Amino acid sequence: MSYKPKIVAFLCNWCSYTGADLAGTSRMKYAPNIRIIRVMCSGRVEPTFVLKSFREGADGVMILGCHPGDCHYHEGNYKCLRRYHLLKKFLLQMGLEEERLRLEWISASEGKQFAELVDEFTSQITALGPCKVKETVETIL
């Protein structure tokens, strides 16, 4: 049986979730590995959410928000950007590949870009193979 990665994606309500919706209503096809969680803003995505995703068995995590300057709350996506870079540095120290976490901007009209991004990220994570966080924690007595 070929490996099917589990991907958790946090999508902001105003741009990216609507973009994903557009991909759906336009009947675009994309990889089914993604589990979408709608949040009000990419700035709402706490690092805890990402860590918890990996702990529960996610192989990759995506955070999608509005393009810079377009945030419904003015600067939520900038806060997300700052957290993302620090979080990546932390994940590297914890022995994870930094490619397992991805931040991208998807607007409400970018259904096509969304579908392509999901396909591309899914194949990237497939190439990386399973994430070992859950397994590691389970080896602890």
Partner 1 sequence: MKLAVYWGAACGGCCVSVLDVHEKLFTVVEHADLVFWPIALDIKYKDVEAMPDGSIDVTLFNGAVRNSENEHIAKLLRKKTKILVAYGSCAHLGGIPGLANFSTKEDIFRRVYEESESTINPEKVKPQPKFHVPEGELEIPEFYNDVRALNQVVEVDYYLPGCPPQTERLVEVFLAIVTGAELPPKGSVVGALAKSQCDECKRKRTENKLVKEFKRPVDVIDDGETCFLEQGIICMGPATRGGCGVRCIEGNAPCRGCYGPPPDVPDPGAKMLSAVATMIDANTPEEVEKIVATIDDPAGTFYRFSLPGSILRRKVIV
Which among 98, 82, 102 has a CA at the least distance from the CA of 11? 102
Minimum distance, C-beta of residue 27 to partner 1, in the bound complex (Å): 33
| Minimum distance from residue 74 beta carbon to partner 1 (Å) | 12
Residue type present at position 67: H
Nearest approach, Cβ of residue 30 and partner 1 (Å): 25
Query: With respect to partner 1, which residue has the nearer C-beta, 2 or 138?
Result: 138
CA distance 115 to 113: 6
Phi, psi of 38 (to 5 degrees): -85, 130
Q: Which residues bind partner 1 (CB under 8 A)?
A: 46-48, 51-52, 54-55, 68, 78-79, 81-83, 85-87, 89-90, 93-96, 131-133, 135-137, 139-141
* Residue labelled with tokens 């979408």: 36
